[in-house]
Amino acid sequence: MMTGLETSRIYLKDVYDHTVQVIDTIETFRDMLSGIHDTYLSSISNKMNEVMKVLTMIATIFIPLTFIVGIYGMNFKFMPELGWRWSYLIVWAIIVVIVVSMVIYFKKRKWL
């Protein structure tokens, strides 16, 4: 016959074994959750990188155009090309050539 102390010891060993199993399971779930969280953050980072890439390309295209428009937006009295008959169309042609050449360059480099 078992005494109450021996029965309690067997019961407490069983409780200890179950507790160790639960702790191992929790640690496994924690590791899985950490891996899933890292994958999620990596995915978000990749999406943000794609958005930043597009925004950088747009800014890169518009910087030279802003420079040209800034020069012609100045109120100088003696700019020789302002008196030319086709100067407006020539500036537009230069702007279009810059944009098209940059887009072609970016597509060849597979940046767009």
Lowest-confidence region among 25-29, 70-74, 75-79:
75-79
Q: Which residues contact 25 (CB under 8 A, 6 or more apart)?
A: none
82 burial class (0-12, 13-18, 19+ CB within 10 angstroms)?
exposed
Does domain 4-108 fall under CATH 1.20.58.340? My reply is: yes
Q: What is the pLDDT of residue 9?
A: 87
Q: Please report which confidence band the pLDDT of residue 1 belongs to, taking 50, 70 and 90 as the band edges.
A: low
For the stretch 6-46, pLDDT in tens is 888 888 999 999 999 999 999 999 999 999 999 999 999 99
- Answer whether 21's CB lies under 8 Å from 76's CB: no
pTM: 0.62
**Per-domain residue ranges of the chain:** 4-108
| Alpha-carbon span 99 to 10, nearest angstrom | 81
Q: How much is the pLDDT for 35?
A: 97
